[in-house]
Amino acid sequence: MRIGIGCYPTVGGSGVVATELARALAAAGDEVHLLSYAVPPRWSWAGPRLFFHEVAVRQYPLFEYPPYSLALATKMVEVSRQQKLDLLHVHYAIPNAVSAILARQILAPQPVKVITTLHGTDITLIGNDPSYAETTRFGIAESDGVTAVSEWLRKATLETLDVPKSIEVVPNFIDPERYDQARARRGPRRWAEAGEKLLVHVSNMRPVKRISDVVRVFHRVSRDVPSRLLLVGDGPELARAEQLARELGIADRIRFVGTVALVEDILVHCDLFLLPSESESFGLAALEALACGVPVIASDVGGVPEVIDHGETGRLCPVGDVDAMAESAVELLRNEDELVRLGENGRARAAQRFSMNDIVGRYRELYRRVLDGGQDASRDGQSERAEQA
Ligand code: GMT
């Protein structure tokens, strides 16, 4: 197949999933053309069937806000024609789905098929905002196939946007083999003294991640367990987290690692992952931690319980319950056997349920279905809801 993939090139999970999918599809024999305004962090040029097309956004004094959606649609048309694409698979509905639908209309009578993958905030935070709700609903309704990364997000989309569409759940994935390779490389243990435990948080440091809770949980843990915290990633809340750490007198025990290309190089050497998010449609970073054999303490929100099994691969606590998270962390860090048990369970379950080969196979199967015209979206959301009732 000849596949165009549209995504954000930022460090966020949707861009990571799109990039990893592009690489896996190319490795499986498809020709993949990735379209975005910059090269995503996990992009690799290795691979003969992998191409990147930059969406250039022309500035003009009239534009306070240059129309990226139109530049993206134009690039989608150009690449679809030149590369004879079979389909466009866009990640994150806003504005990518609407740009793809516009491209499909322009390409008629030789249109491409459009598949949209919903990632979370494109529905829960931004997509249902009155400024975007109608166009988000349109982009989803008009797509030839729609997927959501969790069952929770599928339901949330049908409920919040009341969109007349069948949505298929295709979860995010990891490549279990990658993590074994990372174990052999030199890790962040060099930042800790012998006997100290390493806690870690990886994110784009946006308000929804509740980074100050990470710092507060670590503050309590570090009183009881010799430990250090690694904050991996960058974003708007990082400076506030640094300030809080200084106020609490623990800044010297926290390593601000910044953005890293291979997050597994850090994760495989850590003892516990913290994810106290306000909302999370899936929690890709938590899945990556499981794949590295690291138990996760997370908020019991959104799609997180579909990734973390409470008591088996980690612990789930109410959002904002810093005490419960800290207590769980101390309990686990003091019980090496339990820590190892959860870590081993996590690795096994990540490989069983979210292995790259299986999930990428499901996307390819969806592509074929859509190209054959008998795509999943033939039933509408109303009839699906009626069936469920
Ligand atoms: O976090 C965001 O603002 C958007 C998005 C992203 O690009 O990182 O994150 C979402 O997609 C990830 C990949 O599917 C999921 O693992 C994250 O849970 C989800 N973020 C939220 O729902 C807050």
Asked if residue 189 has pLDDT above 80, the reply is: no
Asked if residue 122 has pLDDT above 80, the reply is: yes
Of the candidates 306, 363, 367, 359, which has an alpha carbon nearest to the alpha carbon of residue 173? Answer: 359
Substitution site in 284, 300, 308 for ligand 1 pocket (most atoms within 8 Å of beta carbon): 284
Ordered DSSP codes for 238-254: HHHHHHHHHHTT-GGGE
Could you give the CA distance from residue 104 to residue 139 in angstroms, rounded to a whole number?
A: 12
Could you give the CA distance from residue 328 to residue 349 in angstroms, rounded to a whole number?
A: 21
One-letter identity of residue 192 = A
Q: Which residues of the chain form beta strands (DSSP E)?
A: 2-6, 31-36, 50-54, 87-91, 113-118, 145-148, 168-169, 197-202, 227-232, 254-258, 272-275, 296-299, 314-317
Which atom of ligand 1 lies nearest, measured to the CA of 282?
A: 18
Give residues (CB < 6 A) around ligand 1. Answer: 12-15, 17, 119-121, 149, 172, 206, 208, 279-284
Only one residue has tokens 């990540």, namely 350
User: Could you tell me the distance, in angstroms and rounded to a whole number, from the CA of residue 192 to the centre of ligand 1?
Assistant: 30
User: Could you tell me the distance, in angstroms and rounded to a whole number, from the CA of residue 203 to the centre of ligand 1?
Assistant: 10
pLDDT tens sequence across 294-339: 999 999 999 999 999 999 999 999 999 999 999 999 999 999 999 9
Q: What are the contacts of 103-110 at 24+ separation with CB within 8 A?
A: 103/73, 103/74, 103/76, 103/77, 106/73, 106/77, 107/77, 107/80, 107/81
Of the candidates 209, 173, 216, 114, which has an alpha carbon nearest to the alpha carbon of residue 350? Answer: 173
pLDDT tens sequence across 218-231: 999 999 999 999 99
For residue 325, how far is the Cα from the chain centroid?
Answer: 23
User: Could you tell me the distance, in angstroms and rounded to a whole number, from the CA of residue 64 to the centre of ligand 1?
Assistant: 28
Substitution site in 129, 202, 282 for ligand 1 pocket (most atoms within 8 Å of beta carbon): 282
| 37: number of Cβ within 10 Å | 15
User: Could you tell me the distance, in angstroms and rounded to a whole number, from the CA of residue 280 to the centre of ligand 1?
Assistant: 7
What is the structure's pLDDT at 374? 61
How is residue 216 written in tokens?
A: 């507060």
Substitution site in 119, 147, 201, 307 for ligand 1 pocket (most atoms within 8 Å of beta carbon): 119
Radius of gyration of the CA atoms of the chain, in A: 21
Only one residue has tokens 């789905």, namely 97
User: Could you tell me the distance, in angstroms and rounded to a whole number, from the CA of residue 84 to the centre of ligand 1?
Assistant: 31
Bridge-based pairing state of the strands 87-91 and 31-36: unpaired
How is residue 32 written in tokens?
A: 């993949």
Bridge-based pairing state of the strands 314-317 and 254-258: unpaired
Q: What is the band of 388 on the pLDDT scale with cuts at 50, 70, 90?
A: very low
Give the CA angle between residues 293, 179, 118 to the nearest 5°.
Answer: 85
pLDDT tens sequence across 236-276: 999 999 999 999 999 999 999 998 878 898 999 999 999 99
Residue nearest to atom 13 of ligand 1 (CA): 13
Which atom of ligand 1 lies nearest, measured to the CA of 8?
A: 7
3-state secondary structure 201-220: EECCCCHHHCHHHHHHHHHH
Q: What is the band of 186 on the pLDDT scale with cuts at 50, 70, 90?
A: low
Q: What is the band of 379 on the pLDDT scale with cuts at 50, 70, 90?
A: very low
Secondary structure class of 33 (helix, strand, coil): strand
User: Could you tell me the distance, in angstroms and rounded to a whole number, from the CA of residue 15 to the centre of ligand 1?
Assistant: 9
pTM of the model: 0.92
- Per-residue CA distances from 237 to 45, 172, 243, 256 (Å): 32, 25, 10, 12
Q: What is the band of 377 on the pLDDT scale with cuts at 50, 70, 90?
A: very low
User: Could you tell me the distance, in angstroms and rounded to a whole number, from the CA of residue 36 to the centre of ligand 1?
Assistant: 17
Which atom of ligand 1 lies nearest, measured to the CA of 287?
A: 16
User: Could you tell me the distance, in angstroms and rounded to a whole number, from the CA of residue 13 to the centre of ligand 1?
Assistant: 5
DSSP state of 331: H
User: Could you tell me the distance, in angstroms and rounded to a whole number, from the CA of residue 306 to the centre of ligand 1?
Assistant: 15
pLDDT tens sequence across 268-301: 999 999 999 999 999 999 999 999 999 999 999 9
Residue nearest to atom 21 of ligand 1 (CA): 280
Of the candidates 120, 130, 78, 129, which has an alpha carbon nearest to the alpha carbon of residue 99? Answer: 78
